[in-house]
Amino acid sequence: MAKGRQVRKVASSKATNRPEDEVLVDIVEVRDRAQDTFNRFRRPLMIAGGALLVLIIGLIAWRVYISTQQTEAVEQMRQAERLFEKDSFAVAMLKTLPGGFKGFPQIIEDYPGTQSANLANYYAGVCLLNLGKYEAAISYLRDFSAKGELLPIMKNGALGDAYSEIKDFASAKSYYMKAVNAKANELLTPFYLKRLAMLAQKDNDVEAARKYYQELKDEYPNSNEGQDAEKYLIYLEGK
Binned at pLDDT 50, 70 and 90, residue 12 comes out as very low
Q: What is the pLDDT of residues 67-115, one digit of tens each?
A: 788 899 999 999 999 999 999 999 999 999 989 999 999 999 999 999 9
* Distant-in-sequence, close-in-space partners of 153: CB < 8 Å, separation ≥ 6: 179, 182, 183, 185, 188, 189, 192
Query: At what angle are helices 188-202 and 169-181 packed, to 10 degrees?
Result: 150
Does residue 13 surpass a pLDDT of 80? no
Least confident of 16-30, 86-100, 145-159: 16-30
The Cα 32–Cα 46 span in angstroms is: 20
Per residue, the 3-state secondary structure of 101-120, as one string, reads CECHHHHHHHCCCCHHHHHH
DSSP 124-172: HHHHHHHTT-HHHHHHHHHH----TTTHHHHHHHHHHHHHHHTT-HHHH
Question: What is residue 1's predicted lDDT score, i.e. its pLDDT?
Answer: 43
Q: Which domains does the chain have, with CATH numbers?
A: 77-237 (1.25.40.10)
Assign 96 to helix, strand or coil: strand
Question: What is residue 9's predicted lDDT score, i.e. its pLDDT?
Answer: 41
Asked if 195 contacts 173 with a C-beta cutoff of 8 angstroms, the reply is no
Asked if 118 contacts 145 with a C-beta cutoff of 8 angstroms, the reply is yes
The amino acid that residue 63 corresponds to is: R
Binned at pLDDT 50, 70 and 90, residue 53 comes out as low
User: For residue 194, with 0-12 CB atoms within 10 Å meaning exposed, 13-18 middle and 19 or more buried, which class applies?
Assistant: buried
Asked if 188 contacts 169 with a C-beta cutoff of 8 angstroms, the reply is no
